Chains A and B, each alone.
Chain A
Amino acid sequence: MLGLIPFGAMCFSVPLWDRVDPTIMGVPFNLFWLTSWIVLTPVCLWSAYRIEATRNRPGGTVP
Chain B
Amino acid sequence: MNAAAISVSITLGIVAVGATIGFLAGVRRKMDLEQWTVGGRGFGALLMFLLMAGEVYTTFAFLGASGWSYSRGGPALYILAYLTLSYVVSFFILPAIWEVGRKYGMQTQSDFFIRRYGSNYLAGFVCVVGIAAFIPYLQLQLTGVGIIVSIASFGGISRTLAMAIAAVLLVAFVFASGIRAVAWISVVKDALMLIAAVAIGIGVPLIHFGGIGPMFAALAHARPGHLTMPGATANLGHSWFISTVLLTSLGNYMWPHNFGAAFTAKSADTLRRNAVVMPLYSLTLVFIFFAGFASILVVPGLANGDLALLTAVRQSFPPWFLGVIGGAGALTAMVPAAIFILSAATLFSKNFYRPVFAPEMTDDQVARLARAAVVMLGLISLGLAIYSSTTLVSLLLTGYAGVTQFFPGVVLGLFWRRVTTSAVFVGLVSGVVVAALLMLSHRDPLFGLSAGFLALCLNFLLVVFGSLLTPARIVDTAKRPEALEPWPAIQ
Chain A interfacial positions (CB closer than 8 Å to B):
3, 6-7, 10-12, 14-15, 18-20, 23, 25-28, 30-31, 34-35, 37-39, 41-42, 44-46, 48-49, 52, 61-63
Contact = CB atoms under 8 A, between A and B. Distances in A.
Contact of A14 (B212, B229, B275, B283): B229
B433 interface: no
Contacts of B245: 10-11
A45 B238 contact: no
Given A11-B245, A35-B283, A41-B84, A48 B489 contact: no
Nearest to A48: B91
Given A10-B81, A35-B283, A15 B238 contact: yes
Nearest to A7: B85
Interface of B: 74, 77, 80-81, 84-85, 87-89, 91-92, 95, 99, 211-217, 220, 227-229, 238, 241-242, 245-246, 249, 268-269, 272-273, 275-277, 279-280, 282-283, 286, 289, 489-491
Contacts of A41: 84-85, 87-88, 279
Contacts of A27: 212-213, 216
A10 B88 CA distance: 12
B213 A26 contact: yes
Interface centre among A6, A26, A38, A52 (most CB of B within 10 A): A38
Main secondary structure of the interface of B (DSSP, over half): helix
Contacts of A18: 74, 228-229, 238, 241
Contacts of A26: 211-217
A38 B424 CA distance: 34
Nearest first, the 5 A-B pairs at minimum CB distance are A26-B213, A10-B81, A34-B80, A45-B276, A41-B279
B164 to A, nearest CB: 37
Given A23-B217, A44-B88, 5 more contacts: A7-B85, A14-B229, A18-B228, A41-B85, A61-B491
A30 B283 CA distance: 15
Contact of B88 (A6, A35, A39, A63): A6
B238 A14 contact: yes
Given A6-B88, A38-B282, A63-B269, A25 B213 contact: yes
Nearest to B212: A26
B367 to A, nearest CB: 32
A45 B217 contact: no
Interface centre among A19, A25, A26, A61 (most CB of B within 10 A): A26
A20 B249 CA distance: 25
A42 B246 contact: no
Contacts of B220: 20, 28
Given A49-B273, A62-B489, A42 B279 contact: yes
Contact of A30 (B88, B95, B228, B242): B228
B45 to A, nearest CB: 14
Contacts of A48: 91
Contacts of A42: 276-277, 279-280
Contacts of A62: 99, 489-491
Contacts of B268: 63
Given A23-B213, A31-B289, A48-B91, A6 B84 contact: yes
A10 B89 CA distance: 14
16 contacts: A3-B88, A10-B245, A11-B81, A23-B213, A23-B216, A26-B215, A26-B216, A27-B212, A27-B216, A31-B227, A31-B286, A31-B289, A38-B279, A38-B286, A41-B279, A46-B276
A23 B219 CA distance: 13
A27 B217 CA distance: 9
A52 B217 CA distance: 45
A14 to B, nearest CB: 5
B243 to A, nearest CB: 10
Given A35-B286, A46-B276, A62-B490, A10 B229 contact: no
Interface centre among B215, B272, B289, B490 (most CB of A within 10 A): B272
